[in-house]
A and B are shown apart, each in its own frame.
Chain A
Amino acid sequence: MIEARFGIALARYPERPFLLSSTTAFSYTDFFQYCRKLSNGLARLNGDRLACYMADSTDLVAVMLAAGMSGKSLLMLNRDLTQQQLPALLQRYNVDVLISDLVPEVELPVTVLGAHRLRELITEEPLLETRDGEILILTSGTTGQPKCARYTWPDLFAQVSERPALEQERWLLAYRLNHFAGLQMLVHVLHNGSTLVLAESNRVPHALHAMQCHSVTHVSSTPTFWRYALATLPESGHDLGLRHITLGSEPVSASLLEQLQRVFPRARIVHIYASTEAGSCVSVSDMRPGLPISILQRQADADVQFRIVEDELYIRSAHGMKGYAGAGEIAARDEDGWLATGDLVRIENDRILFKGRRSETINVGGVKVHPVEVEDVILALPGVKLARVFGQPNPVTGQIVAVDVVINIDYTNLEVEESVREACLALSRHARPRNINFVDALETNNFKLKRQ
């Protein structure tokens, strides 16, 4: 499948840039040749399963595509994992060879290949057969122990819609490649003959710099990423010529959509609903938060169907993961293939609105409060850069609503606290924050707010 997609791209635009970074530039032709030769080498490694523990880089992209072409399955390990966490994961997922851009300081139960030695594997000698390997993605684990989703490359490509490439699209990689959304980004770029731009790091200033340097036209990232970025960009006078913004991985608020439209008036702004387990499910472009209620009417022959059971969103996807990779990791799918997403929703008029994750529900004296609904109110305030609402244990009501707030530098804590309290008077008494903490930053995982 990967080879076939490269074949289509090479026939149409062989010299178009496929990958751009601060240090390298590869055309489709050059990168395919590199991946093809690398896949010959990877195919000769012992065992069926590889893992990579590498920072986002052209080498990592090459390993992902070459592994797929070699028939090996590849486990993507987050470089934020500590080395001490690696042995258990490598054992749990039966990895044979680890490709790492760090020299291991702990004993690992597998063969380790340094990423700097990848080029030694390159060989012109072709494979006897071509087959697609699987790719294994760990769930973000923002609310607990991550699981490992198994995907086939054909299923990943089947989730991408082909777009008429009238004008060349340059996409910034604003998710990590070990994250499902980052993998989707790579597949989307290859499928549509676009260009992938890698920033020097995943930090927002580097991302903005890469957008400028490489004339990025399209960006897919989280609302949290954009809240950070908008706090540093002027509303006008910046030189980013974005034509398209995709928001995903977190609920999108009306205030963020409005702010993005003001700062990027020429950009088409969409938000998508996707999950590591179900894949890409729906894209919404009407500049309203939530999903249109019409998706609940989709018929059984649709690629993705939705339903709501006891306030939880369920999905049935034709091209989702094949299953979890680890022993004892049980998919939350019922016998008909419906997957419980853990996302709690409510219907308001013609919209499905997100209340938050089931696991994040706060119980205040027996009344359930959903963090996202409180965050939406707080994030709409002018002095607030980021906010994370959570349940704080309390001896009187079990839990109270608490919030960590990062403020914009033009405001004082006192000003923001007063406006938060005033705005939250619109919420029920149980949902009003009883503890407001001001913090310098909030911990994120791949630009998603990390939940407790």
Chain B
Amino acid sequence: MSKETEVIEMIKTILKHQAMQETEVEISSELYDDGIGLDSLCVAELSAMLEKAYGSDPYTSNVMPRTVGDIVSFYGDA
């Protein structure tokens, strides 16, 4: 599974955990209010999931990703 697919699956899992409306998640999707709609608690969970899966995450590294692609790029550049 590619990193892009893994990250998208993580976001979908979080949406499911929060019983939030199912929405299309793509590499270009905006993460927050204008897009998928992740709030601070969802982002906190995403940060923990990324850290658990990859040993680091953009939020802990003071990088604020705007899109799904920004997260994937964070690992691509690392």
Chain A interface residues (CB < 8 Å from chain B): 364-365, 392, 394-397, 400, 402, 421, 425, 429-430, 432, 434-435
A397/B59 in contact, CB under 8 A: no
Contact indicator per residue, chain B 10-52, by CB within 8 Å of chain A (1) or not (0) = 0000000111000000000000000000001101110111001
- Which residues on A sit within 8 Å (CB–CB) of B2? none
17 contacts between A and B (CB under 8 A): A364-B44, A365-B44, A392-B48, A394-B44, A394-B47, A395-B57, A395-B60, A396-B59, A400-B45, A400-B48, A421-B17, A429-B41, A430-B41, A432-B17, A435-B45, A435-B49, A435-B52
A365 touches which of B17, B40, B59 (Cβ 8 Å): B40
A365 touches B52 (CB 8 A): no
Across the two chains, which residue of chain B brings its CB closest to A365? B40
Residues of A within 8 A of B43 (CB): 396
Contact call A397/B44, Cβ cutoff below 8 A: yes
Q: Are B18 and A434 in contact (CB under 8 A)?
A: no
Give me the 10 closest cross-chain CB pairs, A-B, nearest first: A434-B45, A396-B44, A397-B44, A395-B59, A395-B60, A435-B48, A394-B44, A396-B43, A400-B44, A434-B48
Give A425's nearest chain B residue, CB to CB.
B19
With a 10 A CB-CB cut-off, give which of B17, B19, B44 has the most chain A CB atoms: B44
Chain A residues closer than 8 Å to B19, beta-carbon distance: 425
Q: Report which residue of A430, A432, A434 has the largest number of chain B beta carbons within 10 angstroms of its beta carbon.
A: A434
Q: Determine the main DSSP class of A at the interface with B.
A: mixed
In Å, the complex CA distance between A364 and B44 comes to 9
| Distance between A329 CB and nearest chain B CB, rounded to angstroms | 38
* B residues less than 8 Å from A364 (CB atoms): 41, 44
Q: A395-B62, A397-B41, A434-B45 are in contact. List 14 more A-B contacts (CB 8 A).
A: A365-B40, A365-B41, A394-B44, A395-B47, A396-B40, A396-B44, A400-B44, A400-B45, A402-B48, A421-B17, A432-B17, A434-B44, A435-B49, A435-B52
A364 to B59, CA, bound (A): 16
* Most chain B CB atoms below 10 A, which of A392, A395, A397, A400: A395
CA of A446 to CA of B44, assembled, Å: 34
Residues of B within 8 A of A400 (CB): 44-45, 48
Complex: how many Å from CA A429 to CA B57?
Answer: 22
Q: Roughly how many angstroms separate A392 CA and B48 CA in the complex, as a whole number?
A: 9
- How long is the Cα–Cα vector from A392 to B19 in the complex, in angstroms? 23
Q: Shortest beta-carbon distance, B41 to chain A, in Å?
A: 6
Residues on B with C-beta less than 8 A from A402 are: 48
Q: How far is the CA of A360 from the CA of B71 in the complex (A)?
A: 33
Residues of A within 8 A of B41 (CB): 364-365, 397, 429-430, 434
Q: CB distance A397 to B40 under 8 Å?
A: yes
Centre residue among B19, B43, B45, B60 by max chain A CB count within 10 A: B45
CB pair B17–A394 under 8 Å, yes or no, is no
Residues of A with C-beta under 8 A to B48: 392, 394, 400, 402, 434-435
B50 to chain A, nearest CB (A): 11
A393 to chain B: closest residue by CB: B60
Q: Across the interface, which residues of B come within 8 angstroms of A434, CB to CB?
A: 41, 44-45, 48
Contacts of B44 in A (CB 8 A): 364-365, 394, 396-397, 400, 434
Bound CA span A137–B72, Å: 55
- Give the residue name and chain of the A residue nearest to B13 (CB): A421
| Most B C-beta atoms less than 10 A away, residue of A395, A396, A421, A435 | A396
**Across the interface, which residues of B come within 8 angstroms of A430, CB to CB?**
41
Report chain B residues within 8 Å CB of A365: 40-41, 44
Of the listed residues B48, B49, B60, the one surrounded by the most CB atoms of chain A closer than 10 A to its CB is B48
Give the CA-CA distance A430 to B57 in the complex, in Å.
Answer: 21
